[in-house]
Structure 1
Amino acid sequence: MSISIQANKRTDFKNSTNRKIRDEGNFPAVVYGNKTESTPIYLNSADFIKTIREAGRNGVLTLQVDKQKYSVMLHDIQTDPLKNEIVHADFQVVDMKKEIDTEVSLSLVGEAKGTKEGGVLQQSLYEISLKGLPQDIPSSIDVDVSDLGINDTITVADIKVDKKLEITHDAKDTVASVLPPQQEEEPDSGEIQDAEGDVEATKEKDNEE
């Protein structure tokens, strides 16, 4: 069962109205897709954050706009990092019986054994493309890196998902790897001798003076 969230239609698009919406703890948004006419709305920021934390980034929500209900997924969100507030969001209406293509975030879990030997864990891919029914799309996918040694790599092909889902991302793309520790270059023996010679020459010159 999806989680419900209340929204209201926007009919006034003046900048002053948008400022008032934000000043009252709300933010503007739009709902569209699946033969639904694009509808400007606004939601309460605190309610939205609470709902997304509960449902997940890719969770299916029941969006109540006045007397109309929509099954939606959060398609895009814009935030202001300086003010720490939501600027705008896009909600896409989905058909629960039709598969969708979407992006799902990747989260590395575990401690790579290569890091215990001085290696550096590097994540190269943070999202992958998936296809499946809206209710089957996970909010994120955990990638276990515990067995990753130095110079080892995990690719998209190594990621396991539910049989109901299809990974449409390039299977060859690197997700994570452990880089070998960087070694400091030792100075060339010739350079050391030249430096020592310069020091001795400087001392002799100082003694002559």
Structure 2
Amino acid sequence: MTSKISVQKRETGTPHSKLTELRGQGIVPGVVYGYQTETTPVAVSEIDLIKTLRESGRNGVINLELDGKTLNVVLSDFQRDALKGSFEHVDFLAVNMSDELEVAVAVHLIGESPGEKEGGVVNQPNREVTIKVKPADIPDALEVDVANLAIGDTATVGDIRGTVSYEILDEDDFILVSVTAPRSQDELDELETPAAEDAEPEVVGGESDSEEKEA
């Protein structure tokens, strides 16, 4: 079932104070662009947005209603408030259902690794892959079964490429999951050793921060 959502046009160049006011009213500013669509600033109810995304998933196709027209869109991008978790902005990409898209999907691990049962550590260095697929066929996630992974084993894109019906654009050696040996007690003790009291803290971006303050 395709989810539906209604949005309203928003004035171009809305001042920051007005955007803040909209968010305070539970309205999320956004933009619609893409296939046979002029770039259009819009506003959408955050409650409706959350409900729609729960129904469609992060990559599902949505029927977006705007000025009496219905567009097939996907959620291209979004920003959320780091503290509140509320939506700050959303980008809807209008799509041609007959054309393939390049889209990032999450990697989900399933099963239980024999290596983990033996005390190994399951590592997931890359949590997304980029695929090419028609909008209606975008999966919620790429599932990787770890049930056969012992300590020292890895699973790469090359290992699962032939098990899916869409094209994965990442290279074959792109690591999705690995199972490593548990740390020795000596390594753990070394990590817990406190740093020397007279060690100078590392300053990251100090010079850039000063320049920004002076600007």
Give the TM-score normalised by the residue count of structure 1.
0.84
> Once the two structures are superposed, what CA deviation does each residue of 1:35-61 show, in whole Å capped at 9, x if it has no partner?
321100011111111111111111000
SS in structure 1 opposite 2:186?
coil
Amino acid at match of 1:72: V
Question: Aligned equivalents of 1:47 and 1:113: distance in 2?
Answer: 43
Matches within 5 A, 1:127-146: 127-146=128-147
In structure 2, what is the Cα distance between the partners aligned to 1:182 and 1:152? 16
The whole-number CA distance in structure 2 between the counterparts of 1:88 and 1:60 is 18
Match of 1:191 in 2: none
| CA drift at 1:169 | 1.2
5 Å-filtered alignment, 1:17-56, equals 17-56=18-57
Match of 1:83 in 2: 84
TM-superposed CA distance for 1:34, in Å, is 1.6
Q: How far, CA to CA, are the matches of 1:103 and 1:84 in structure 2?
A: 21
2:11 aligned partner, one-letter code = T
- CA distance in structure 2 between the partners assigned to 1:170 and 1:72 by the alignment: 28
Letter in 2 for 1:142: E
Superposed CA offset, 1:58-90 (max 9, x none): 100011112122110001011112022101011
Deviation at 1:99, TM superposition (A): 0.9
Amino acid at match of 2:10: R
**Residue 3 (structure 2) pairs with residue 3 (structure 1):** yes
Counterpart for residue 67 of structure 1: 68
Cα distance in 1, alignment partners of residues 71 and 159 from structure 2: 36
Secondary structure in 1 aligned to 2:60? coil
CA displacement 1:163-207 (0-9 Å, x = unmatched): 3x1111111111000110111339xxxxxxxxxxxxxxxxxxxxx
Could you tell me how far apart the structure 1 residues matched to 2:53 and 2:138 are? 14
Report what 2:119 is aligned to.
118
**3-state SS, counterpart of residue 181 of structure 1:** coil
AA at the equivalent of 1:4: K
Aligned residues: 185
Question: Counterparts of 2:2 and 2:75 in 1: how far apart (Å)?
Answer: 13
CA RMSD of aligned residues (A): 1.5
The alpha carbon displacement at 1:110 in A equals 1.7
Q: What is the correspondence of 1:55-204 to structure 2 with a 5 Å cutoff?
A: 55-159=56-160, 161-163=163-165, 165-185=166-186
| Unmatched runs of 5 consecutive residues or more in structure 2 | 188-215
Q: Which runs of 5+ in 1 are unaligned?
A: 187-209
Q: What is the letter of the counterpart of residue 73 of structure 2?
A: V
Partner secondary structure for residue 185 of structure 1: helix
Specify the alignment match of 2:205 in structure 1. Answer: none
Specify the structure having the higher radius of gyration (Cα).
1
* CA distance in 2: counterparts of 1:92 and 1:154, whole angstroms: 32
Return the letter of the residue paired with 1:33. Answer: G
Q: CA deviation at 1:2?
A: 2.0
Deviations 1:122-176 (A, max 9, x none): 001111111111001112121111211100000011225543x111111111100
**1:203 counterpart residue number:** none
